[in-house]
């Protein structure tokens, strides 16, 4: 009987430790990622393109389609973006509406904000 109680105690201690570790890791990853409101329009635009696995132009086209803009206007706006780096309001609003917090966390894992990808260990 005493051995059974001892095993149950260690099992409960193990579960408690696992729960504390899980909560700690979750909180670390949550705090590590900036919220959507703190992100630049450029970052949101590139994140949306990355998550959708499409080009930035495709995001422009989707945003323009929501506003019923002509393909010519979308192309002109995209060309202007390439020249100046200015993102039209309808595109930035579209990116803000469609990027989720989990998309941003995924991006932060792939491209840490501390400067590039994690170092490659081993292979050259």
Q: Where are the domains of the chain?
A: 1-32, 35-113
User: To 10 degrees, what angle do helices 41-52 and 56-66 make?
Assistant: 100
Q: What is the dihedral of CA 41, 44, 46, 48, to 10 degrees?
A: -140
CB 58 within 8 A of CB 52: yes
pLDDT 10s digits, 79-109: 999 999 999 999 999 999 999 888 888 888 8
pLDDT 10s digits, 8-45: 788 888 889 999 998 888 777 666 556 777 788 999 99
């Amino acid at each position: 009987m005493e051995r059974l109680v001892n095993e149950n105690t260690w099992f409960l201690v193990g579960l408690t430790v696992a729960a504390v570790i899980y909560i700690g890791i979750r909180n670390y990853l949550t705090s590590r990622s900036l919220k959507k409101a703190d992100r630049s329009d450029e970052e949101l635009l590139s994140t949306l393109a990355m998550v959708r696995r499409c080009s930035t132009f495709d995001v422009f086209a989707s945003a323009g389609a929501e506003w019923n803009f002509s393909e010519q206007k979308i192309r002109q706006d995209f060309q202007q973006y390439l020249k100046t780096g200015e993102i039209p309001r309808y595109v930035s609003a579209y990116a803000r509406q469609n990027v989720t917090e989990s998309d941003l966390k995924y991006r932060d894992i792939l491209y840490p904000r501390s400067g590039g990808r994690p170092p490659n260990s081993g292979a050259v």
